[in-house]
A and B are shown apart, each in its own frame.
Chain A
Amino acid sequence: MDQTVQSRLLVPSTAKKGDIIEIKTLISHPMLSGFTKDSSGKTIPRDIINTFTCTFNGQQVFKMDLNPAISANPFISFPVRVDQSGTFEFTWVDDNGKIYKNTAQITVS
């Protein structure tokens, strides 16, 4: 995949107050472990997504540290209880300090 990183989200658009919803995320990233070498024998520097966070209305609800053994295009799924309508903000940070963001709205009735 080229360097245009794309992310995908699966968040229900509506839920009932107090529901536990499942959130799924996927991001395209090569997750270079730092242990591989190119064709000339030079080590390819490590470049992985090292942190993933999810906030709901500004408050952190999920955080994950990622390590080099995780495969390319990491898929992360987790449950969240929702008590009010609002916005989920997802942030992925890689070793080069690049920040990828994506958001999703949910209406809670």
Chain B
Amino acid sequence: MRLRPSPLVIVATLALGVLFLKPILVTSQTTTPAPLSAYQVGKEKSGFIYLDAPLRAMQNDDFSNPGYLWVQKGQALWSTADGTNGKSCQTCHSAAETSMRGVGARYPAYDPKSGKVIDLEQRINEMRVDMMGAKPYKWESPQLLALTTFVKLQSRGMPVDVTTTGPAHAAWVAGKTFYDTPRGQLGVSCQMCHVQHAGDQLRSDTLSQGQTNGFPTYRLKWQAVGSVQRRFRGCNAKVRAQPLPFGSQQYVDLELYVASRGQGLPIETPSVRR
């Protein structure tokens, strides 16, 4: 398992239409890749297991992994002051490498203030509004994706550890109900593909278990990093159901349930997926 967050510093300066980017020289990238068994807990398999060798290599090399472009951007945003209070994330949380370690593994989590379960994106935006006096980032905006990816990277290698009991239980039940309910013109539920038929072929592709331990993920189809909710919307549209809007509570509850299915799987953010 790879537990080494690689610290990168990027300072971009813009001069007269020509972008000069200060070099970031990443030190040696060679680490022994974790055995495949590290990506499986009991019967739960990470999407990593369903990848072919070149994609696994791409994910495991912090340089060739394009998700790192978002990490780099997220790292810059972490220390950029924004909003009326003149604060950045760093002002209160200092180094993300220590303060954010394990945070990504806990979300979605119950938020006493709003009285509901919120995901990492909502948590970041809540902090921006309450503590920084800044505008919330738009869902799926490059900034929100970058910051979420950067924060979740700090938990890489740690097991998914969401709480499904106590005040979060109702949301977990709602998420499970959503997961098991057939929807759309095709009348297909999440579990039909990702539980009953996981590992089977769907045309040329192998159905995975739909685990979310690698999100936000760099998906080749998107040629970009995307959130779990973007994936949910894509799945919903594929069964010809009306996708729900980003940030809807049903999707957040679903995120919690899906995360709980993969309890114990290592966080792989930013993962590479087909």
Interface membership of B72, Cβ < 8 A: yes
With A6-B21, A11-B25 in contact, do A24 and B64 touch (Cβ < 8 Å)?
yes
- Mark each residue of chain B from 62 to 99: 1 if its CB lies under 8 Å from any CB of chain A, else 0: 01101011101100000000000000000000000000
When distances are taken between beta carbons in the complex, the residues of chain A under 8 Å from B21 are: 6-7, 100-102
Interface membership of A72, Cβ < 8 A: yes
Please measure, in the bound complex, the distance between the C-alpha atom of A73 and the C-alpha atom of B70, giving whole angstroms.
Answer: 11
When distances are taken between beta carbons in the complex, the residues of chain A under 8 Å from B142 are: 1-2
When distances are taken between beta carbons in the complex, the residues of chain A under 8 Å from B68 are: 8, 26
Interface membership of A104, Cβ < 8 A: yes
Interface membership of A99, Cβ < 8 A: yes
Interface membership of B244, Cβ < 8 A: no
With A5-B19, A24-B64 in contact, do A104 and B25 touch (Cβ < 8 Å)?
yes
Min CB distance A6 to B, Å, is 6
- Mark each residue of chain A from 27 to 61: 1 if its CB lies under 8 Å from any CB of chain B, else 0: 01011000000000000000000000000000000
Whether A10 pairs with B12 at a CB distance below 8 angstroms is: no
When distances are taken between beta carbons in the complex, the residues of chain A under 8 Å from B70 are: 1
Which residues of A are in contact with B by a Cβ distance under 8 Å? 1-2, 4-11, 13, 24, 26, 28, 30-31, 71-73, 75, 77, 98-105
Which residues of B are in contact with A by a Cβ distance under 8 Å? 10, 12, 17-21, 23-26, 29, 63-64, 66, 68-70, 72-73, 142-143, 220, 223-224
Give 6 A-B contacts (CB < 8 Å), ordered by A residue.
Answer: A4-B12, A4-B73, A6-B12, A11-B23, A72-B224, A101-B19
